Each structure stands twice: as structure tokens, then as C-alpha cells.
């Protein structure tokens, strides 16, 4: 930081106890927004003295973050670490590779465990994976790193998976395509659609995955139902959930509507799809990596919200430690 | 006495028409560093790879490159290779200081391939591009340019000296000194502009944030980095005394809001190249 100017980081708009939208009814309302991405500088009396605008294109911001992840997943040192330490929960918490303990690799690890079992059952056949909200397909790369490490390089995502990615951003899909130009196209299929607007026959994919995307598609409840329907073995999800009785609609920083599920919303789906929700982790929103991503939600309500790492299994208990979600509904979220 | 400022960076969300924001979300570091450079890189690559249909990355090459420093650097670098004295068919070797994720490299590849597909006699099959810059970009530069015909190499500038720069230049045909990008990064500017430009007789291109006048001047960027900006007149005089073929283009006020406001000479962008080409005419306005 500068030695010429004493710079102190501040939050120009701290969260209030109650947010603007906390008292909303279930009625849909239209809110027109202007979003500016910028540096802002204020003098000690609070007067804004300088601003520097950055592009506000959400796809560009997302591309920056997800390409950054993908590059880290391709890091030869990370791959060597997994090869030496083995693909296990301990290896994911190595201090030299902080990316491994973040949400996505932890969920990829759950998929990896399942992929191995299904591969065994199918005598080494490809496992079909549907990635809802695939962005630049960085999950393919983490799974590749895990599969390569576990097989001493004999197999990877290119030989073990039949990957189907869906995203509504044509920019992110284009980057995903460019970054996987070496993968055989018939086993690496990308489609552009809203996350609630896909239509495949039931049980089309062995495994499905969605990390935080189902919450902000056009119809989250329909999206989740469809996702569970097209799943043959298991769905792995990160979902934002409230412990309030009813789910509610909010908005995220990009201006998209965002539905926070209730536990009852989720448990109700077990009846329809003949499976069971399990959870492996729960991160309260107050401790999340992207704080203040929800617009108009106050401090008090945020205390009720968190992100569950979920598995919806149609094949009994998962092949790793996990608790039934009903446990959280009955006795609290602690694992 | 140091002045004191409070600062933040992130998304300010307003109800349309309102003066005060209703919400602020701070941005994480990774989005600040290079998302813009990355989107340029992939826009150029989508064009080069002929991705059909709408890619969401770029409406047109003109829109992507217009008024952009990386494009001026790449176009000038290519022209330096198209000189009559150049040996046909050889692999161009370029060294670039502070390439970030490599948009200059990518645009160079795009233009070279366009020339090749048009049957141009100055076509190159591959390019060897050596970057030197902050360690943080090493992996990104090498991985994002892997799986390509061209060769991408990157050295960390941590502890680098003018002698290191000179050594890298000895293994190149053209040197690109991207001082503009080096100032924009969070990491310190490791290599001194003037000394590096004077240290080699290689064909050279540079883009630099400078101040008007004959004395260098300190500025602080919006990222909180202090930089001693070279003086334009002083720099031009020294370079021409060393090599009379240098040509310069001065863009006063270019991106001046990147620096915190303070009294002193005006900042701007100085673009220069050794005068072995007369065709460089960057038009940068901002």
C-alpha cells in the first residue's frame, strides 16, 4: 500500500439490521437498477474525492474468477501434490494450495468419489455428468486433476467422463470451449440456456452438479426439480437455504432475482424423486467468501441463511460421510 | 504529512435514477487484477480460432482493439517484423516486459495468422514470446498460452535487473516494454523504463505512463501503488540521443483517472518505437 497516502479501506454502505426487501410480500416486483463497478475514494469527512470506473459486465467479472480457478487447477504443482498425497479430504486442506479447500473442489471431491464407484459398476464406461451453470467448465479440470492423480495418469476427465455443460452466458461458454479445445467434442458438449429451461428425459445423466446456480435461475424450484429428475445416481449441489419456514425471493449484486430455499422446500422434493438429500457441510452466509452478495437483505435475516453442500442420492447413502438433511431440519445444522 | 483517504472498490447498486446507492458489494482481489485483460485475450482467441456464431466475447475486432494500448503495441511489433530486411520464414522472437496474461502476444498471433491465411509473404507459422513480469502472472501466462503452436515462456521479475532485461533482449528480435501494464498491476514496477530502453539496440516498442516536463514525478494509483513516472521530454531527449530513429506519440491525459488526483504535471501515455517503421500511428483518446 502507498507510503504517500494513508489509505484505509471502508464500506460505504454497511448492512442495516433490516434490509430494504426484508418485508416484501410474495408478490413479484420490478426494480430497475443501475450497477457501477468502481474504485471510490473519500476524504476523512466522507466527501467523495475520486472515482475510477471499471467495466460492469457481470460475465467479464465471472470469467476473471473462473478462469483464475481453472488455471490453478491446471497448476502442475497442485497436480503433483494430489498424486503424492492421494485424493482425500486431508489433501484438500493443504496450506500450500488454499484453492483446494474452497467450495468447488470440495464438491468435486464428492463427485469424484461417486465417479469411481460408477466406473467400477460400469466396468470402466464413461460417467455422464451434467454441470448446470458450468461457466468455463472448470469443474472438468478439477475432476481431471483428481482422476489423473488417483490413477497415476492412466485416466482423466477426457477418458472417464461424458461432460454436458449448460450456462446462459455465451461468453463463458465460448471461453470454456476455447480452454478445452483438445477434448473430443462428443464427450464435451456445451449448451446455452437458462438454468430452468433444459429438457432431458428422466435419468439422462449418471451425475449432476450445480454450485450456487439453481438459486438464481428464472425458476429455481422448477430448475431443481428438473435437475433431480434427470439424475440417475446422484446430484451434487451448493444451495443457499434459510432456516425460516418459507423460502423467499431476493436479489443478488448482478441484479438477478435469487430464491433462498427453505429446508421444507428441499425435503418435499424427496417424495417426488425417490431419493434423499444429505449434506456434507454448511457455511453460514455471515462466514461466506462473498459477503454482501445479497441485495436488500439485512443483518438479522442473513443470520438465518447459509450454503449447504448437498447430495441428492437415488442410490442410498453416499460413499462418504454425510448426514441426512432431515437431521438439520430436526436438530440444527451442525455436522 | 501524509494525506488520508478512505477507499473501497466494488459494485455500487442504484435504483435507476437515484443518486445514492442502495447496496455496495466489495469485489474480491482476483476480479480486480486481470479480468479485463483476460476477456481481451479470449476475444482475440475466439476470432483466431474462428469460433462460429456469436461468442459474447467481442462484436468486432475494431471494437476490441480501438483505442487500446495492447493493440498499438502488437500492431507495431508486427510491423517491425515486416521490414524489407527481415529474413523470411524465421520464427519471430519477442520479449515483453509485463505482458499480464498476454493480450499483445495473442493479438500478434491473430494478425500473423490472418496474414498467413491471406498468403502474405510475411507470414509466420509460430512465434516465440518471452514474458517477464510479476510472479503472480507466470502460471496464468504459461497455461493460457499452452496447447498452441507458439512458444510462451515467462520469467519472474522479482529481483530482476537491467542486465537481466538486456540478456533476454539478446535472445529476441523485438523488445516490447509494457510499462503501462506494469504500472497497472498491484506489484511494484521492477524494471526501470529509461535504463532498459537505453540498454539495448534491439528494435523496440514501448507504452509508458509519463508526466509532462523534464522531471519525473511520483503518483499513487487507484490500487494504492506509488510509482515514479518518468518525464516525457527527458525520456524522449535521452532516447533520441542514443538512437535518432526513435519515434514518439504523446497522448496527454490518457487514463489519467487511474492516478489519485494531486497537484503536479499532467500524466499521459507516451508511445514510442524505434524508427525502422514509419507506419505506426496509434490513436489513443481517453
ipTM for the complex? Answer: 0.91
Whether A215 has a pLDDT exceeding 70, the answer reads: yes
Identify the closest residue of chain A to B36 by CA–CA distance: A60
Whether A170 and A135 have beta carbons less than 8 Å apart is answered as no
Check B224 against A7: CB less than 8 A apart. Answer: yes
Task: Provide DSSP, B28-76.
Answer: PHHHHHHHHHHHHHHHHHHHHTT--S--SS-S-HHHHHTT-HHHHHHHH
Check B7 against A8: CB less than 8 A apart. Answer: yes
B36-84 pLDDT, tens digit each = 888 889 989 988 888 756 666 666 677 778 778 999 999 999 888 876 5
Check A68 against B55: CB less than 8 A apart. Answer: no
Whether A253 has a pLDDT exceeding 60, the answer reads: yes
Please state the rounded mean pLDDT for residues B134-150. 90
Identify the closest residue of chain B to A69 by CA–CA distance: B30
**B286 band by pLDDT with thresholds 50, 70 and 90:** very low
Whether A235 has a pLDDT exceeding 70, the answer reads: yes
Within its chain, how far is the Cα of B197 from the centroid?
Answer: 15
Please check whether residue A190 touches B, CB under 8 A: no
Give A 161-180 residues with CB within 8 A of chain B. Answer: 169-175, 177-178
A143-186 pLDDT, tens digit each = 999 999 999 999 999 999 999 999 999 989 999 999 999 999 99
pLDDT value for A268:
93
B192-241 pLDDT, tens digit each = 999 999 999 899 999 999 999 999 999 999 999 999 999 999 999 999 99
Check A44 against B8: CB less than 8 A apart. Answer: no
Q: Which residues on chain B are in Cβ contact (under 8 Å) with A35?
A: 11-14
- Cβ neighbours of residue A63 under 8 Å, at least 6 residues apart? A135, A136, A171, A172, A175, B35, B38, B39, B42
Which among B174, B254, B276 has a CA at the least distance from the CA of B210? B254
Instruction: Point out the residue among A10, A60, A255 whose CB comes nearest to the CB of B8.
Output: A10
pTM: 0.91
Assigned C-alpha cell, A53: 470506473
pLDDT value for B114:
85
pLDDT value for A250:
85
Calculate the dihedral angle through the C-alpha atoms of B49, B50, B51, B56, rounding to the nearest 10 degrees. Answer: 100
Whole-number percent of chain A with pLDDT over 90: 75
Neighbours of A116 (CB within 10 A): 18
Amino acid at each position: 500500500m502507498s507510503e504517500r497516502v494513508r489509505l484505509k479501506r471502508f464500506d460505504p454502505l454497511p448492512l442495516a439490521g433490516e434490509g430494504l426487501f426484508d418485508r416484501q410480500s410474495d408478490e413479484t416486483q420490478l426494480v430497475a437498477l443501475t450497477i457501477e463497478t468502481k474504485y471510490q475514494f473519500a476524504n476523512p469527512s466522507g466527501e467523495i474525492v475520486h472515482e475510477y470506473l471499471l467495466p460492469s459486465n457481470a460475465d467479464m467479472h465471472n470469467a476473471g474468477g473462473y478462469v483464475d480457478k481453472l488455471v490453478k487447477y491446471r497448476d502442475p504443482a497442485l497436480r503433483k501434490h494430489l498424486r503424492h498425497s492421494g485424493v482425500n479430504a486431508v489433501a484438500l486442506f493443504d496450506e500450500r494450495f488454499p484453492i483446494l479447500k474452497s467450495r468447488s473442489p470440495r464438491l468435486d471431491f464428492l463427485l469424484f468419489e461417486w465417479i469411481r464407484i460408477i466406473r467400477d459398476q460400469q466396468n470402466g464406461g464413461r460417467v455422464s455428468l451434467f454441470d448446470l451453470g458450468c461457466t468455463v467448465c472448470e469443474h472438468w479440470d478439477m475432476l481431471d486433476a483428481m482422476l489423473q492423480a488417483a490413477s497415476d495418469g492412466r485416466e482423466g476427465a477426457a477418458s472417464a467422463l461424458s461432460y454436458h455443460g449448460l450456462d446462459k452466458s455465451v461468453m463463458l461458454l465460448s471461453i470454456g470451449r476455447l480452454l478445452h479445445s483438445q477434448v473430443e467434442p462428443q464427450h464435451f458438449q456445451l449448451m446455452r440456456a437458462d438454468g430452468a429451461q433444459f429438457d432431458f428425459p428422466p435419468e439422462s445423466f449418471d451425475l449432476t452438479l450445480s454450485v450456487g446456480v439453481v438459486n438464481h435461475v428464472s425458476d429455481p424450484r422448477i430448475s431443481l426439480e428438473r435437475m433431480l429428475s434427470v439424475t440417475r445416481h446422484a446430484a451434487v449441489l451448493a444451495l443457499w437455504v434459510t432456516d425460516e419456514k418459507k423460502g423467499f425471493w431476493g436479489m443478488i449484486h448482478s441484479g438477478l432475482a435469487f430464491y433462498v430455499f427453505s429446508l421444507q422446500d428441499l425435503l418435499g422434493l424427496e417424495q417426488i424423486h425417490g431419493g434423499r438429500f444429505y449434506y456434507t457441510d454448511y457455511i453460514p452466509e455471515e462466514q461466506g467468501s462473498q459477503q454482501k452478495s445479497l441485495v436488500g437483505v439485512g443483518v438479522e435475516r442473513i443470520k438465518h441463511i447459509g450454503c449447504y453442500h448437498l447430495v441428492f442420492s437415488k442410490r442410498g447413502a453416499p460413499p462418504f460421510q454425510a448426514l441426512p438433511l432431515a437431521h438439520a431440519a430436526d436438530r440444527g445444522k451442525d455436522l | 504529512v501524509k494525506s488520508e483517504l478512505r477507499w473501497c472498490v466494488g459494485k455500487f447498486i442504484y435504483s435507476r435514477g437515484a443518486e445514492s446507492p442502495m447496496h455496495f458489494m466489495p469485489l474480491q482481489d482476483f476480479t480486480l487484477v486481470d479480468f479485463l485483460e483476460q476477456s481481451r485475450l479470449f476475444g482475440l482467441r475466439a476470432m483466431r480460432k474462428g469460433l462460429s456464431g456469436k461468442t459474447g466475447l467481442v462484436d468486432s475486432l475494431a471494437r476490441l482493439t480501438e483505442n487500446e494500448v495492447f493493440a498499438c503495441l502488437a500492431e507495431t511489433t508486427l510491423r517491425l517484423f515486416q521490414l524489407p530486411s527481415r529474413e523470411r520464414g524465421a520464427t519471430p522472437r519477442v520479449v515483453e516486459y509485463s505482458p499480464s496474461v498476454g493480450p499483445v502476444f495473442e493479438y500478434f498471433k491473430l494478425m500473423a495468422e490472418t496474414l498467413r491465411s491471406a498468403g502474405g509473404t510475411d507470414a509466420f507459422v509460430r512465434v516465440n514470446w518471452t514474458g517477464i513480469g510479476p510472479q503472480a502472472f507466470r502460471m496464468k501466462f504459461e497455461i493460457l498460452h499452452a496447447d498452441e503452436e507458439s512458444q510462451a515462456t515467462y520469467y519472474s521479475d522479482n529481483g530482476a535487473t537491467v542486465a537481466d532485461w538486456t540478456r533476454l533482449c539478446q535472445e529476441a528480435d523485438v523488445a516490447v516494454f509494457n510499462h503501462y501494464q506494469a504500472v497497472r498491476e498491484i506489484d511494484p514496477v521492477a524494471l526501470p523504463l529509461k535504463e532498459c530502453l537505453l540498454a539495448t539496440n534491439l528494435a523496440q516498442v514501448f507504452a509508458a505512463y509519463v508526466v509532462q516536463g523534464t522531471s519525473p514525478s511520483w503518483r499513487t494509483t487507484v490500487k494504492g501503488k506509488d510509482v515514479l513516472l518518468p518525464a516525457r521530454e527527458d525520456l524522449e531527449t535521452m532516447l533520441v540521443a542514443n538512437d535518432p530513429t526513435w519515434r514518439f506519440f504523446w497522448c496527454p491525459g490518457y487514463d489519467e483517472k487511474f492516478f489519485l488526483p494531486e497537484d503536479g504535471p499532467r500524466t499521459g501515455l507516451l508511445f514510442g518505437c524505434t524508427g525502422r517503421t514509419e507506419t505506426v500511428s496509434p490513436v489513443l483518446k481517453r
